[in-house]
Structures are given as structure tokens and as C-alpha cells.
Amino acid sequence: MSAKLSERDFIGAIESRSDIRLFFIFGPDESAAASIAGEMVARLGSDSEAIEIDSAKLRGDPALLSDEAASQSLFGGARHIRLHFAREEGLDAIANLLAAEQAGNPVIATAGDLKKTSKLRTLVEGSPRALAYICYPPSEGEAIDQAVAAAGALGLRIDRTLAAQIVRYTGQDRRLVAMELEKLSLYHDAAPDRVVTVEPKALSALAAETAEDDINALVNQVLAGDAKALGRTMIEARAIGIEAIRIIRALQRRVALLAGMRAKVDDGANAGAVVRANRAIFWKEQGAFTQQVQRWTAARLAGLNAHLLDVEAKLMATGGDLTETLFEEELVRIARAAARKG
């Protein structure tokens, strides 16, 4: 069943909706889907036994899911099932779960982006025994708001400039944002009843600096046309396992930010002043942003945005080593285009 629930209400449904067998979370923002699923599992309590199932297991055993949902814990306590969809498969298993006479254990499932024509999505959204929630990537401003709110729940008072820095270097990955905030909370010994103001020096000391440097360096080198430096940074990024999709989406967000600032420049504003007025930009990056606003025209930014969407689609459809090869070729291609300043 598809319902227009807020994220909070959807998470709360794991406790209030005993009639729902399958809680299905999907969408282009997979980090948000994983975060929501984690919160729902936490609501069930640490005593609830977790059964982890990958969708590949359902292809050859369509009865597995309904059997697990109906079975009792070995020790007689509560249990739940975490189901991970790597692709659209296991339709018969989901149909069996939703049609079964009884299924006492809730199933919390996550999947990637599914089109409206998806058979899996259609099956879930059409059942009164399932509840679906779609996760769309937030704007940078929304991601900053989420980070500030999450920090507050941990007893951290953090300004939007520092929140923006965390959001950017984690690639707007909610799981990584939560990990960084948790580290800050432990560092400050903060709690909801012991509120502590986070200082920039604490963030610098604890931030995931390697990932931050690599992602920001890649974005800046691509958009500056520095193909020589880009080659070294790509090797380093691959070595520490930064995902290609994460970098492509970081580029998409940067292009969107640059497009808004470029429009102001085209209306007669000074590029440096426009960049300095944007509170989401860390002061150390203002120089790079100013150069990029000056280098990329509105028309070129629009074309690059469309191209990045095509690249993302190709990466999602490509598997194995070809993903990294395609990704790196595209970064070099964009950097060479950036080098042609005119």
C-alpha cells in the first residue's frame, strides 16, 4: 500500500501497525532508505531477533520469506526480518508473504530506485498488507537541516556552516553523517540533557578527512579541468573504496549549486561576492567555487547536468569492473571539457 506518510509516521508504523507485514523502503536515496530501516529495527528493541535475507535467496525458494515470517524465535522472543533487494527479483516470495494466512514477524525491506512500472513496486503498493515509502535525495539545504536536527537529538549544538561541511564531505550519505555526529557526541560527552556547542576545531580533528579531501579534490579537479592531478586522485579514491555513484552525485550537487550562483553573475553580480554570500560554502573552498562560477557558463552547466544524469544511469546499469572504468573515463572527459574554458 502506498500512503502519503511523513518519514516519522512511517517509522512509527512499525510499532502501531500490526496489520502490516511488509515495510518497503526504496528510492534513489539509498542511504536514507538504509537509515530509515535502521531506525525501524531500533524501535523493535535489542531483544528482537534479526533474520537477514538477501533477495537472491528468494529466487530459488519463494516460500522462504513467508515461512520465516510465520516461524517463532528459537527462544520464544520477538523477531523481525531484514530483506535486502539487490535487483527486482523475488516477486513470488513477496506475493506468498502478502497472501499467507499468518505472518507474525514484520519484514523490513529496502531496495534501490524503482520505476512506477516496476512489478515489485506495483505488487507492494497494491497490497493492504504492505506499506511503502520512497526516499528522494534531499537538497543540500534539506540535508543540512537534517544534520542540525540529528545533532540536536544527540545533545550537540551545531551551526549550519559546520553542518554543511559534514553534509558535503559525506556526500549527503545519511549513514555517514550519523557516524560523524556520533563521533562528535562521544568526543564532547554530549547528551540530550548535556547540550554542547561544537567548535570547528573539534570537527577538524574528528572528520573523515581522507574521504572529504578525495571527494572535494575530485570535484574541484574535474570542474577546473586539471586532468593531470585528477588521475592521481582517482587512484587514491579507488584505493579507499569511495563509490563512483557517490562522486557523480557530489558532482551533480555542485553543478546545481554553481548554476544558481552563475545566474546571479549573469544578472550582473560579482562572482566572488556571490560565493562569499553563500553560507553553505566553507571558507577554504571559496576560491575554487569562484573560479568554477567564472569558468562554467549557464549553458555549459545545463549541458553538464544532463550529461551527469546520463552517466549515473549508465553506472547503475553497468556491473563489475566496467563501472569503475566507465566512471573514470567520464571524469577525464568532463575535465578535458572544463579545460576548454571558452
Buried/exposed code over 179-210 (b: 16+ C-beta within 10 A; e: otherwise)? ebbebbbeebebeeeeebebeeebbeeebbee
Domain range for 73 is 7-134
161 and 254 in a single domain? The answer is: no
- What are the pLDDT digits (tens) for 47-66? 888 888 888 888 888 899 88
Residue 314: pLDDT over 60:
yes
120 and 185 in a single domain? The answer is: no
224 and 154 in a single domain? The answer is: no
Q: Is residue 290 part of a domain?
A: yes
The per-residue DSSP string of 256-278 comes to HHHHHHHHHHHTT--HHHHHHH-
30 and 73 in a single domain? The answer is: yes
Give 184-242 as a 3 state SS string: HHHHHCCECCECEECCHHHHHHHCCHHHHHHHHHHHHHHHHCCHHHHHHHHHHHHHCCC
- Of the three residues 134, 167, 182, the one that is the final residue of a domain is 134
332 and 221 in a single domain? The answer is: yes
Q: What's residue 208's pLDDT?
A: 47
- What are the pLDDT digits (tens) for 173-206? 888 788 888 888 888 888 999 999 988 777 666 6
CATH number at residue 265: 1.20.272.10
313 and 285 in a single domain? The answer is: yes
312 and 255 in a single domain? The answer is: yes
Residue 319: pLDDT over 90:
no
Q: Is residue 78 part of a domain?
A: yes
224 and 199 in a single domain? The answer is: no
Cβ within 8 Å of residue 284, ≥6 positions away? none
- Of the three residues 184, 207, 230, the one that is the final residue of a domain is 207
Phi-psi region of 270 (alpha: psi -120 to 50; beta: other; left: phi over 0): beta
Domains in the chain, number: 3
Closest CA to 149 of 28, 248, 35: 35
CATH number at residue 31: 3.40.50.300
